[in-house]
């Protein structure tokens, strides 16, 4: 395995999904099934040395050695919460680092994967936003997070990761061209083989990306709604200025399309005295009543410098009950890993910020 420290001119095979890997092999005058064999070595058997891929010809292994590699980010730290949640910090070229979280439950193991270094969307309650934005992750850097967690935690034959959520740092639909091939690898039977139900992309509401995703890779969709009217939503999710609630819900409707089983998960972070009043719950119910949906209420997780508090337990319960009475499937998300800052919205990684906005913010100018 090669760690990602120096620049390299070799191609990183982790950047390729099945069709592009077959394309690469065609350019090398190799048969497409060679690409499929390599995928199985890497993702199913966890083998990263070409000379151990014994069903490839000696010549091909030598050629691969010369022009290709498997380049993984370096793990800077690993923490484990008292509740069993793991958090890793991986360094990526450019001096920054991103976080990945694994949440074990009795019936599943969910990996929360980052898609960007930092985030440009500035949601006012989110720790990642505070870090500013640095760059998109590559397909290899995204799928590496899955490979590394699986191979770190696996003890026997059985897979450890049963679900992947693109809910770590970044806005996945603003890194579409790298995220989709990575998700295709998560789904591919020759690699991780997860079903579409078990791979979830969460978006703050990038409407054109939602429409593209429906055609290219229709995984489960989660939408960070967080407010039931435009005035409030624009305050806490500034992207709402560009794609308002009406236009976002219309895209969700198109995403569900005619698939009878598909439904959208709406995430709603509970912010005390901001978006948690009874009238907000009624407004939310009215918005969602005709859409096959499920609401995930997320207790706000605090981070230093973020000026919100979490709604009380009672408030969250009454909010949930109003939605349930309106016939909307609603659950309150259990907070996991907060003792190691691994809970929703606490992923800060380490971002060499390139945005002027946050330079100004640090200087107290905005
Ligand atoms: N950009 C994508 C992916 C991030 S997912 C998106 O917005 O959906 C992370 C989820 O955690 C989102 O629903 C986000 O709004 C939520 N979140 C962010 N900060 C949070 C916080 N401090 N407490 C609880 N949830 C938070």
Query: Using an 8 Å Cβ cutoff, are 123 and 184 in contact?
Result: no
Q: What DSSP state is assigned to residue 339?
A: G
Q: Other CB atoms closer than 10 Å to residue 252's CB: what's the count?
A: 21
Which CATH architecture fits 3-69?
A: Orthogonal Bundle (1.10)
Ligand 1, atom 5, residue with closest C-alpha: 167
What's the gap in Å between 233 CA and the centre of ligand 1?
Answer: 14
Q: What is the DSSP string of 238-261?
A: GGGGTS-HHHHHHHHHHHHTT-TT
CA of 305 to the centre of ligand 1 (A): 16
Domain boundaries, the chain: 3-69, 74-362
- Which atom of ligand 1 is the closest one to the Cα of 204? 7
Rounded distance, CA 316 to CA 312, Å? 6
- Beta carbon of 200 within 6 Å of any ligand 1 atom: no
Check if CATH label 3.20.20.70 holds for domain 74-362. yes
Is 190 in contact with 44 (CB distance < 8 Å)?
Answer: yes
The token duo for 250 is 């219309």
Which pLDDT score, from 0 to 100, does residue 365 have?
46
Residue pointed to by tokens 């000379």 = 51
Cα angle: 315, vertex 316, 321; to 5 degrees: 95
Three-class secondary structure of residue 136 per DSSP: strand
Look at the block and give the residue holding tokens 């890779």. 217
The CA–CA distances, whole Å, from 242 to 175, 208, 228, 230 equal: 17, 11, 16, 11
Is residue 229 exposed (0-12), middle (13-18) or buried (19+ Cβ within 10 Å)?
A: middle
224 in contact with ligand 1, CB cutoff 6 A: yes
The residue whose CA is least distant from atom 4 of ligand 1 is 167
pLDDT in tens, 293-321: 999 999 999 888 899 999 999 999 999 99
- pLDDT for 300 equals 95
The two tokens of residue 327 are 């016939």
Predicted local confidence at residue 356, as pLDDT: 57
What tokens were used for 296?
Answer: 């995930």
Give the integer Cα–Cα distance in Å for 279 and 299.
18
Q: Which pLDDT does position 3 carry in this prediction?
A: 59
Q: Answer for the pair 339, 81: CB distance below 8 angstroms, yes or no.
A: yes
Is there an atom of ligand 1 within 6 Å of 204 CB?
yes
Amino acid 94: pLDDT: 87
How far apart (Å, rounded) are the C-alpha atoms in residues 225 and 315? 18
List the pLDDT tens digit at each of the 366 positions of the chain.
Answer: 655 545 578 999 999 999 999 999 999 999 999 999 999 999 999 999 999 999 999 999 999 999 999 999 999 999 999 999 999 999 999 889 999 999 999 999 999 999 999 999 999 999 999 889 999 999 999 999 999 999 999 998 889 999 999 999 999 999 999 999 999 999 999 999 999 999 999 999 999 999 999 999 999 999 999 999 999 999 999 999 999 999 999 999 999 997 878 899 999 999 999 999 999 999 999 999 999 999 999 999 988 889 999 999 999 999 999 999 999 999 999 888 988 888 877 787 777 777 655 555 555 543
Phi-psi region of 238 (alpha: psi -120 to 50; beta: other; left: phi over 0): alpha
Q: How far is the CA of 243 from the centre of ligand 1 (A)?
A: 18
DSSP-based three-state secondary structure for 35: helix
């Amino acid at each position: 395995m090669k760690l990602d420290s120096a620049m390299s001119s070799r191609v990183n095979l982790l950047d390729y999904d099945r069709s592009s890997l077959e394309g690469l092999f065609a350019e090398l005058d190799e048969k497409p099934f060679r690409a499929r064999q390599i995928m199985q070595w890497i993702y199913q058997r966890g083998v990263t040395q070409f000379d151990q891929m014994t069903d490839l010809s000696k010549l091909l292994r030598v050629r691969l050695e010369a022009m290709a590699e498997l380049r993984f980010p370096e793990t800077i730290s690993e923490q484990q919460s008292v509740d069993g949640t793991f958090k890793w910090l991986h360094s990526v070229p450019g001096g920054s680092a991103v976080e990945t979280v694994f949440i074990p439950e009795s019936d599943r193991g969910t990996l929360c994967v980052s898609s960007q270094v930092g985030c440009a969307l500035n949601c006012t309650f989110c720790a990642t936003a505070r870090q500013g934005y640095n760059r998109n992750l590559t397909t290899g850097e995204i799928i590496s997070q899955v490979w590394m967690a699986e191979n770190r935690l696996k003890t026997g034959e059985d897979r450890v990761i049963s679900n992947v959520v693109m809910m770590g740092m970044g806005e996945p639909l603003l890194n579409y061209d790298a995220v989709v091939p990575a998700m295709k690898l998560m789904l591919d039977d020759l690699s991780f083989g997860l079903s579409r139900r078990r791979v979830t992309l969460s978006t703050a509401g990038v409407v054109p990306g939602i429409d593209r995703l429906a055609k290219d890779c229709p995984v489960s969709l989660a939408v960070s709604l967080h407010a039931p009217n435009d005035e409030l939503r624009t305050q806490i999710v500034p992207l709402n200025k560009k794609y308002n609630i009406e236009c976002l819900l219309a895209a969700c409707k198109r995403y569900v399309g005619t698939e009878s089983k598909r439904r959208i998960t709406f995430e709603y972070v509970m912010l005390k005295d901001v978006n948690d009043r009874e009238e907000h719950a009624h407004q939310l119910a009215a918005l969602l009543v005709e859409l096959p949906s499920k609401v995930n209420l997320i207790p706000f997780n605090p981070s230093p410098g973020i000026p919100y508090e979490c709604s009380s337990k009672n408030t969250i319960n009454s909010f949930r009950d109003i939605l349930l009475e309106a016939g909307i499937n609603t659950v309150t998300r259990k907070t996991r890993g907060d003792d190691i800052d691994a809970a929703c919205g606490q992923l800060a990684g380490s971002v060499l910020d390139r945005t002027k906005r946050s330079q100004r913010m640090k200087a107290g100018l905005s």
